[in-house]
Structure 1
Amino acid sequence: MDLTRLYADPSLVLTVSELNRATRALLEQTYPLLWVRGEISNLKRYESGHWYFALKDRDAQVRCVMFRHRNQYLDWQPEDGALVEVRALVTLFEARGEFQLNVETMRRAGLGALYEAFERLKRQLEREGLLDPARKRSIPVFPRQVGIVTSPQAAALRDVLATLRRRLPSLPVIIYPTPVQGEGAAQQIAAALRLAGERAECDVLILCRGGGSMEDLWAFNEEVVARAIAACPIPVVAGVGHETDFTIADFVADRRAPTPTAAAELVSPSRIDLLARVETLARRLRRGAARRIEMRMQQLDYLARRLTHPGERLQAQSVRLAELSRRLHGAHRRALEGKARWVEQLGMRLQRARPDIGALLKAQQMWRGRLARAVTQVLSRTERELDRLAAHLAHLNPQHVLERGYSIVRKQDGVIVRKADQLAVGEPLWLTFASGWARSRVEDKGDPR
């Protein structure tokens, strides 16, 4: 439901579903995930695995739901009356129009200070670059010896040793015993890490312990442990708690494993996988060797076929030489015969192409006579045409007109005057006669009648 429609049209009528849906959207968009402290009341666990309860203080309460995929990661069971802190999303249950919190995680009240200390140390180490992935070292694929930093009484140690024995029984293991919980545990863990680094007996270290509450795992959130891990010259794999547990040691270590068993799998190659790999390589080696032997055998057979007695080779060369001599003589003979035929054909073509001198002389005499007659005719026609053109030209000669008393009148710029309109009074004129010329001036002019 778009709330802008309500502001634009106050008379708009909503259904209950539209109202609840709009309210839920408004609540979820307005409030981020937040922490709420209160006392659990009326806790109900359904067969579906979901938890429904109320969270209350002295003056108010709010309904809460924690779905199975959220509460299954809690390592403790809340009860009515427990004071807790929940991280939840503020929302509305549309079907009943009830305001509620969708809980994502829950912790016992009082752990807030620990979380603040955890985040503060994490930010400090991050600023110093101890959490930078670039500084972390790779875990050796085939370690010669593995060290385990944990308590000898820890169940996690038995799980790690069982996993290492199963995956690679021949891998030597050194245990650096240390308490992993309680007063002074962090200092002793750091001391065990420094001892392992000084003795340099192992190629990789496993720092592990089983699951527990945040207080139980707090030794692995201490700064002294984090700095000991960062300063250790041996790569460290941290396997602390369960998959959902995160400690400062996990962030500083070269690799984090979700569980101690997973840490053991990270540092040890699988004997079964190695044997399968070796068997695969052995099969490839056998196939490759067999192919190389077969190729060499085939090459040997080929060379054996080429290897013959020198006498046989000389005899074969003699036969080859005789064959080439025969082919050479035959080719020479065929070449001579072909040249002879070619010369004969050229003689015949030359004979056919030889000219008839007598016929050519007769034709020459005939063409000479015809040429002389044609020249005479052309000259006669040209002379008559020339006379005609001369008479016509003489008829058109302006000199004859001038001899009859006419003259040519030109203006000063040489333009011939044909009309009186072309002249102005007082304008000078040049007159050309049949013999000679004269200069005159216009005294008067008039229109033709």
Structure 2
Amino acid sequence: MTSSYLTVKALTKYIKRKFDADPHLREVYVKGELSNVKIHSSGHIYFTLKDDSARITAAMFRTQASKLKFKPEEGMMVYIRGEVNVYEASGIYQLYVQTMEPDGVGGLYVAFNQLKERLQQEGLFNPNFKQPIPNFPKTVGVLTATTGAAIRDICITISRRYPLAEIIVYPTIVQGENAAPNIVENLRLANKQQLCDVLIVGRGGGSIEDLWAFNEEIVARAIFESRIPIISAVGHETDTTIADFVADLRAATPTAAAELAVPNQQELYQRVLTSKSQLHQIITAKLTFERSRLKKLQNAYPLATPERIYRPFTEKLIQLDMQLGRSSQMYLMKKQNELQKLDAAIKRHSPKQTIQYYDKQLEQSINLLTRSIYTILEKKKDAHHSIIRTLQALNPLAIMTRGYSVAYKDGKVIKSISQVTEGEEISIHFHDGQAQAKIMNTKDNEGGE
């Protein structure tokens, strides 16, 4: 009887074969709301698809999930194409998703808005990070396809407007799966070479799918990291991509990008002519003004008769010259009179008599000085002898020669009988030597021991 019972595994496999055999479950189209969305680190997406009355678990594996242009989020209404089958390990049937599109708007539009919001929050659109476009670039780099109309329009426009600029073309894939990595690669190459002053990145018009490479996150970050200023030129004027928000400057079309990248030589020439004319007018007006001013100065009274200006100074100079001549003559006469007086005085006094007079005076001074020195020396000798006699009288050694001596104990003078006791050894100093003694007994002046 027990042999008729199935195992859980056998039952599950049977049910799975039923699902596999049903052609209606191999490809189903379902609309519903996303719930419990979990994006695994492996790239798989697990969620629940529900409506007002029912729900079904679903899984979208990495291969299919990597093709999504938007990020599935909680509460989003979606259209799903997939297969319904049984997951044997848990015995649960679930929906295996092949494609997913948002309800109401396309998946690319949702992906565009999601990435735009995230990059904006990170600051990639911040105007403070925008680099200025050089006014007169020497070299313009162009990243676009070499076969499209965009490259032709850009090159023609630059050559027409500013032929001084050199153009470096970086052939770039601008559509398809390989477009975004190729754009990033060429952006990094241009920055590594540092040959260009400005870069134009873009392509001609197309659908949102055609332009999608310029909405990829890797392209946006490569544009933001570029050290060379970038002008985006993607599609037509109505087309807007993530690259336009990140770029340092956005152009409506590739032709407009070329016009923004370089100045117009005709406009520059016209500006030069205008500046030349303005400069000529300014110089002419300045010359006219200065000529008028010069004429007024020339006709002014001081310049018309310049000799009247310095005539008083000339007269003053003549007067000073005359006064100087008179003063010089008077000074010379005075000095001549003084010289005559000195000459007469020298003749009256003979040099020999003068020498004898001063010689006698010197001799007298020497004698007086000698006597004064002897007198002082005698006084110093007497004072010295007096001091010697006083020192000898006060010298303790002189007193000791008369029979006195000094007693010491432990290197100190014994001044009182109370400082010694019987049996102690003391030292006695005489004027010609010293001796060691021992106290036999003591006796003070009152007779006590």
TM-score greater than 0.5 by the shorter chain: no
TM-score range, shorter chain: 0.3 to 0.5
TM-score norm. by structure 1 comes to 0.44
TM-score norm. by structure 2 comes to 0.44
